[in-house]
Amino acid sequence: MVGKNCFAMASDRRLGVQLQTIATDFQRISKIHDRVFLGLSGLATDAQTLYQRLVFRHKLYQLREERDMKPETFANLVSALLYEKRFGPYFCQPVIAGLGDEDKPFICTMDSIGAKELAKDFVVAGTASESLYGACESMFKEDMEPEELFETVSQALLSSVDRDCLSGWGGHVYVVTPTEVKERILKGRMD
């Protein structure tokens, strides 16, 4: 979700195999660099493989260009990597968020074959995406400060995952401003 010169990314913490919960501390959001974050929902093995490939590509980019990737560029890279596997796809839906030039927040999501969906306000992915759309649409306000953005994102996440049996077991929220990254863990319904 986008705020005033900042953005927040939130995920749940469940790692499950259909009905069985394996772990309640799974990290779904990863840092690519200080100003770009990637959240990967879907099949855990493909999320881990895709994350490793993206970090590899970004490190190569850093060596060649001697700078970090812009979030728009990174989103294009993710889209290209996903479409490469058009007929044998990675079963993940990524959410990309970053601070671009002049600290302007950038967010986008894509489907599992790389169809980008840019938005000005919020993007969602995962099994609870329909609930998340509803919760975010009703709670979102323009130009929220980081603290208010954190509250909004947390409430939207917790209320949506409570309606989905495959999501939940707590929450991870990252609030990123030009100067700092705040990571917080949410206590939610553990069921």
Partner 1 sequence: MECVFGLVGNDFAIVAADTSAVHSILVHKSNEDKIMILDSHKLIAASGESGDRVQFTEYIQKNVALYQFRNGIPLTTAAAANFTRGELATALRKNPYFVNILLAGYDKETGPSLFYIDYIATLHKVDKGAFGYGSYFSLAMMDRHYHSGMTVEEAIDLVDKCIMEIRSRLVVAPPNFVIKIVDKDGAREYAWRESVKDAAVPLA
Please identify, among the stretches 14-22, 70-78, 134-142, 171-179, the one whose residues bind partner 1 according to the rule CB under 8 A: 14-22
**Binding to partner 1, residues 23-82 (CB under 8 A):** 23, 26, 43-45, 48-49
Rounded Cα gap, residues 30 and 57, in angstroms: 15
The least distance separating partner 1 from the CB of residue 22, rounded to whole angstroms, comes to 6
**Binding to partner 1, residues 78-137 (CB under 8 A):** 88
What is the four-CA torsion angle of 74, 103, 4, 134, rounded to 10 degrees? -10
Among 12, 21, 25, CA closest to 161: 12
- Cβ closer to partner 1: 5 or 21? 21
Please identify, among the stretches 1-9, 20-28, 97-105, 152-160, the one whose residues bind partner 1 according to the rule CB under 8 A: 20-28
The least distance separating partner 1 from the CB of residue 48, rounded to whole angstroms, comes to 6
**141 contacts: CB under 8 Å, gap ≥ 6:** 148, 152
- Cβ closer to partner 1: 47 or 77? 47
When asked if residue 18 is in the footprint of partner 1 (CB under 8 A), the reply is no
When asked if residue 15 is in the footprint of partner 1 (CB under 8 A), the reply is yes
Q: What residues does 33 pair with on adjacent strands?
A: 36
The least distance separating partner 1 from the CB of residue 23, rounded to whole angstroms, comes to 5
Count of residues of this chain found to bind partner 1 when the rule CB under 8 A is applied: 12
The least distance separating partner 1 from the CB of residue 182, rounded to whole angstroms, comes to 24
3-state secondary structure 11-48: EECCEEECCEEEECCCCCEEEEECCEEEEEEECHHHHH
Q: Please give the residue ranges that form the binding site for partner 1 (CB under 8 A).
A: 15, 17, 20, 22-23, 26, 43-45, 48-49, 88
